[in-house]
Amino acid sequence: MGAERAAVAELGILIYPGAQMAAVHGLTDLFAVANRIADEHQAAQLPLLRVSHWQVEGDQPPQRVHDSYPQANSALLAVLIPPSIGGFSAGQMSPALAQWLRDQHARGATLGGVCVGSLLLAESGLLDGRSATTHWTSAKAFAERYPKIKLKADTPIVDDGDLITTAGLMAWSELGLRLVDRLLGPSIASSTARFLVVEHSDSASECGSNFAPILSHGDAAILKVQHWLQSTGATEVSLTTMAERAGLEERTFLRRFRAATGLKPTEYCQHLRVGKAREMLEFSNGTIDHIAWTVGYQDPGAFRAIFRKITGLAPSDYRARFGVTPNPKATTF
C-alpha cells in the first residue's frame, strides 16, 4: 500500500489504563480508510499515514506496541489521546507520561484529547492559558482543578492548532477527520466520512481547511514563536516582539519563519485569527463585531475583508451556513 507515496506522516495513539479501545481501533481504521482513498485517487504527492500505538505501563514513558508501517523512519506528527470509560482520574497520570507529552509537543507534534483525554493534556500543563473543552459531566471539576485553562464546555471541539480537545465520548471520529483534512486534504476527509457514515463539518471542504500550522519543520526558535502565537491568539503581536521571542534579528526571523511555515508572519497571524473566528461563528452567538474584536481586529471592516479573502465567504454568510446552536448534552454522545 502506498508504495509510490514517499512521504510518511506518523500519528500516535496513546493507550493508557482505562482507555476506550473502540476509539483506539476506530481511529486506526479511520486512518487506514483515508490511506486507501488517497491511493484510489493516485495521490502520490500526499503522505502515507503511519499509525502507531503507544502503551502506558506504570511510571514508564509510553512504548510503541503497534506500527502500521514499521519500515518508516519518522517523528510523531500528532498524538491522539482517546476517551476513557473506566473512570480515569487526573491524579493517575505519571510524571513520565506528562513529560513525554510535553516532549512530543516541543518537537512539533499536534496533541489531541478526546473527552476525558483532555484531562491528560490539562495535567501536563500544556493547556494552561489555552482554550479547551471536555465532557459536560466533567466540566465543573475540570474548571475547579485547572483554573488557568479557558474552558469552553458548550463547544464540541476546540481546534487550537497545536492542541485539539473534544467534548464527546464518540468525538474521536471528528478528531481523526480533522487530521486527515490537514494531511490529505478536505476532499479525502469528506470521502472518508462518507465511507464510514459519520458526521463531518462541510466547512472545511467548502471554505478550505481549518488553519493547520506546520509544526514539524525542526526549527526550534520558530516553533517557540508558533506555540506562543497559538497561546495568545496572535491578538497583539508585532514583528519586533516575535523576533525577540525567537532570539533572532528581524531579517533572519522573517526568512526562517517563512521557510519553516510557508507563510509570512502577518499571513500566519491572519490565518490563526480567522481560524478562531470560524470556531466562534460556528459555535457561539456573539456579534460579528465582537468576534472581530475578540480575535484581534479593532476594525470590523478589515476583519470582514480578511475573513472573506481566506474563506471565500462573508462572516455572516459563514455563520448562516455552518453555525450550530450550542447544546452540550446533545453533542456529546
> How does pLDDT run across 149-200, given as a tens digit for each residue?
999 888 888 888 899 999 887 889 999 999 998 898 888 888 999 999 887 7
Determine the Cα–Cα distance for residues 218 and 122; give it in Å rounded to an integer.
25
**Between 38 and 72, residue with greater pLDDT:** 38
Q: Are the beta carbons of 332 and 304 closer than 8 angstroms?
A: no
| 29: pLDDT strictly greater than 90 | yes
What percent of the chain shows pLDDT beyond 90? Answer: 58
Chain segment 50-87, per-residue pLDDT in tens? 999 999 988 899 999 999 998 777 789 999 999 987 76
**Between 71 and 204, residue with greater pLDDT:** 71
Delimit the domains of the chain by residue range: 8-207, 220-322
* Residue 233 to residues 23, 44, 227, Cα–Cα distance (Å): 30, 35, 10
| 326: pLDDT strictly greater than 60 | no
What is the predicted pLDDT for the residue at 331?
34
What is the predicted pLDDT for the residue at 202?
64
Average pLDDT score over residue span 5-21: 89
Which CATH number, 3.40.50.150, 3.40.50.880, 3.20.20.80, 3.40.50.10490, labels domain 8-207? 3.40.50.880
| 2: pLDDT strictly greater than 60 | no
Q: Rounded to the nearest 10 degrees, what angle do helices 95-106 and 117-124 cross at?
A: 80
- CB neighbours of 137 closer than 8 A, spacing ≥ 6? none
Environment class of 218 (CB within 10 Å of its CB; exposed 0-12, middle 13-18, buried 19+) = exposed
Side chain identity at residue 69, one-letter code: Y
* Residue 147 to residues 86, 125, 151, Cα–Cα distance (Å): 25, 11, 9
| 204: pLDDT strictly greater than 70 | no
Chain segment 269-294, per-residue pLDDT in tens? 999 999 889 888 887 888 999 999 99
What percent of the chain shows pLDDT beyond 70? Answer: 91
Q: Are the beta carbons of 157 and 164 closer than 8 angstroms?
A: yes
What is the predicted pLDDT for the residue at 198?
84
Tell me the three cell numbers of residue 308: 472573506
Q: Are the beta carbons of 305 and 315 closer than 8 angstroms?
A: no
* Residue 155 to residues 111, 138, 158, 239, 284, Cα–Cα distance (Å): 18, 14, 7, 32, 8
Tell me the three cell numbers of residue 33: 480508510
**Between 190 and 11, residue with greater pLDDT:** 11
Q: Are the beta carbons of 104 and 98 closer than 8 angstroms?
A: no
Average pLDDT score over residue span 89-103: 86
What is the predicted pLDDT for the residue at 81?
96
Helix (H, G, I), strand (E, B) or coil at 319: helix
Chain segment 246-264, per-residue pLDDT in tens? 999 999 999 999 999 999 9
What is the predicted pLDDT for the residue at 330?
35
| 207: pLDDT strictly greater than 80 | no
Average pLDDT, the chain: 88
Q: Give 212's pLDDT tier (boundaries 50, 70, 90).
A: confident
Integer distance in angstroms from the first to the last C-alpha of the chain? Answer: 34
Average pLDDT score over residue span 34-50: 87
Q: Give 90's pLDDT tier (boundaries 50, 70, 90).
A: low
Determine the Cα–Cα distance for residues 16 and 97; give it in Å rounded to an integer.
10
Please tell me the least confidently modeled range out of 96-105, 232-241, 289-298: 232-241
Q: Are the beta carbons of 105 and 126 closer than 8 angstroms?
A: yes
Backbone angles phi, psi at 179, to 5 degrees: -75, -35
- CB neighbours of 93 closer than 8 A, spacing ≥ 6? 119, 120, 123, 124
Average pLDDT score over residue span 302-321: 92
CATH number listed for the domain at residues 220-322: 1.10.10.60
* Residue 64 to residues 23, 107, 112, Cα–Cα distance (Å): 17, 17, 18
- DSSP H helices, 13-150, are 21-40, 95-106, 117-124, 139-145
